[in-house]
Amino acid sequence: MDELIKRGIDLIRESEKILVFVGAGLSTESGIPDFRSPGGIWDKYDPSDFDFHRFVSDERAREKYWQMSTEYYEVMRNAVPNQAHLSIKRLENAGKLLAIVTQNIDHLHHKAGNSPNKIIEIHGTAFSVSCLSCNKAYDRDEIEDRIKSGVTIPYCDECSGILKPDTVSFGQAMPQDKMTESLRHARECDLCIVLGSSLVVYPAASIPAYAMESGAKLMIINRDETPLDRHAFLVIHDSVAKTLGRIMESI
């Protein structure tokens, strides 16, 4: 393991434009359950109940969605950045961070102090809510206060439209502007570091592959194997927080 850590140190030292690609495995080390893993959200709820088209067309689906989402939001709101989040901030402080592309919706990179213009939340954020009709934006805590007061399905106070957290649901289109920006950074980076992602959720998972195809080296830190392991310059199967923390302590 020490030899792998040393290789990671050398990789980061040699790189000038680093793209960090983040998955749920980073958040689980801050106590946020992974949707797909045993004990995660999908062990308690049926994912098909939260399809975007069902959310829009079925009031009962909206009620169930807000029940699930509120439960999950409480955990995220109380979560704090772990050693890996703080290590990514150190990459920015060192002038090496091109951008963070995160599949997570938990706002932890903001809490860690990374510049908002460096953070691309490819699957959106749970910390804001928008009206699907008039696009009026709301702070998530304002909507949570309504739910705590007994409202089971919040609606827009401007146009009575459907409100939804600014996250990408099953069946909902990915934000094309964020995908375009992410792929641009993938084309420009000289090192792509994958942290805590299984690299099986597309189209987001295409970003590290595109970086590699564009000439960047690929470093993967994840507890489990990924489809890109055999193509990566360095793979470490261990705790993301512990591993990246050890690497950045030496830089």
Q: Which of 107, 109, 123, 185 is catalytic?
A: 123
Grade residue 201 by pLDDT with cuts at 50, 70 and 90: confident
Q: Any idea what DSSP says for residue 157?
A: T
Whether residue 123 lies in the annotated active site: yes
Report the pLDDT value the prediction gives residue 177, as an integer from 0 to 100.
95
Can you give the pLDDT at residue 34? 75
Length in residues, the chain: 251
Neighbouring CB atoms inside 10 A of 34's CB total 18
The answer to whether residues 27 and 197 touch, using CB atoms and an 8 Å cutoff, is no
Under 8 Å between Cβ of 35 and 76: no
| Cis, peptide link before residue 47, omega less than 30° from 0 | no
> Domain residue spans in the chain?
1-31+80-123+173-251
pLDDT digits (tens, 9 = 90+) for 139-154: 999 999 999 999 999 9
pLDDT tens-digit series, residues 45-69: 777 778 999 999 999 999 999 999 9
What's the whole-number average pLDDT of the chain? 94
Residue 167 has a pLDDT of 96
Q: Is the pLDDT at 164 greater than 70, yes or no?
A: yes
Q: What is the pLDDT of residue 251?
A: 80
| Per-residue pLDDT tens digits for 226-246 | 999 999 999 999 999 999 999
Instruction: Specify the pLDDT at position 36.
Output: 61
Judge whether residue 37 has pLDDT over 80: no
Average pLDDT of the segment spanning 19-26: 96
**pLDDT tens string 92-135:** 999 999 999 999 999 999 999 999 999 999 999 999 999 999 99
* 57 phi, psi to nearest 5 deg: -100, -15
- For the domain spanning 1-31+80-123+173-251, the CATH number is 3.40.50.1220
pLDDT band for position 35 (50/70/90)?
Answer: low
Q: What is the mean pLDDT of residues 1-17?
A: 95
Percent of the chain with pLDDT over 90: 88
> How far is Cα 87 from Cα 100, in angstroms, rounded to an integer?
12
The mean pLDDT value for 12-39 works out to 88
- pLDDT given for residue 1 in this prediction: 65
